[in-house]
Amino acid sequence: LLSQGELLRKQKWCYFHSKWNVLELAIILASWSALAVFVKRTVLVERDLQRYRKHGEEGISFSETAAADAALGYILAFLVLLSTVKLWHLFRLNPKMNMITSALRRAWGDISGFIVVILIMLLAYSIASNLIFGWKLRSYKTLFDAAETMISLQLGIFNYEEVLDYSPLLGSFLIGSCIIFVTFVVLNLFISVILVAFNEEQKYYQLSEEGEIVDLLLMKILSFLGIKCKRQEPGSSSEQP
């Protein structure tokens, strides 16, 4: 927090030109927001408990406490997401993780195209299931519920019986086609694109200066601990003729 404040004071508006500085600032703001909401939720819980002890027979509303608890959950989830992005950025110092990042960057054009296709297909199946089953089944009552159910289908968390009991023919066709086209076709092609990009990156990958510094530092630490190790040369990992 202090280092980012000092950096912001020195760079001023230029501080926001770096996306990693913005990420650090977002993590700090999310952390303080989570702390504030946590304190508020604790106060509200204590207040509701006092009301329940004094007026247990009367109706007591816990809506404000529930809203604070839900807000805390959303903030923590967002904070975990930002921290994961920061951790992935720090992993660039690891040669293998840096290679994965370079491969994803190389295949980003194809990956973004497949992501759009997957989102369109999930939206289409969500709309269709909402129109067909939304009248009777609670899992498809709204478009958001239907989309959540379709995503759960890809993860294997799905109630097949309620759909097949409501409409055996149409339900089996909808579920089967969604599994075949989205899971077996599009997702497998999506993974294949990533694997091809990773193989291409392995052929032309060169260790960055930061990675070389980390390897040298690790070798020095191991030598200091009495563990002998040899530094691997860039071409030593390739196959010998």
Clarify whether residues 165 and 176 are in a common domain. yes
pLDDT in tens, 24-64: 888 888 898 999 999 999 998 888 888 878 776 677 777 88
Residue ending a domain, choose from 92, 124, 152: 92
Residues 132 and 182 in one domain: yes
Query: Do 76 and 58 share a structural domain?
Result: yes
Identify the CATH number of the domain in which residue 111 sits: 1.10.287
Residues 74 and 154 in one domain: no
Same domain flag for 108 and 196? yes
Residue 237's pLDDT band (boundaries 50, 70, 90)? very low
Sign of the torsion formed by the C-alpha atoms of 70, 71, 74 and 76: negative
Domains identified in the chain, total number: 2
Is residue 50 packed enough to be buried (19+ CB in 10 Å), middle (13-18) or exposed (0-12)?
Answer: exposed
Same domain for 3 and 27, yes or no, is yes
> What does 164-200 look like in DSSP terms, one character per residue?
HHH-HHHHHHHHHHHIIIIIIIIHHHHHHHHHHHHHH
Q: Is the same domain home to 222 and 193? A: yes
pLDDT digits (tens, 9 = 90+) for 89-118: 776 666 677 777 777 777 788 888 888 888
Summarised one tens digit per residue, pLDDT across range 172-205 is 888 888 888 887 888 788 888 888 877 877 776 6
32/64 same-domain check = yes
pTM value is 0.55
Q: Answer yes or no: do 127 and 203 share one domain.
A: yes
In a domain, 239, yes or no: no
Domain boundaries, position 44: 1-92
Q: In this structure, are 108 and 220 located in the same domain?
A: yes
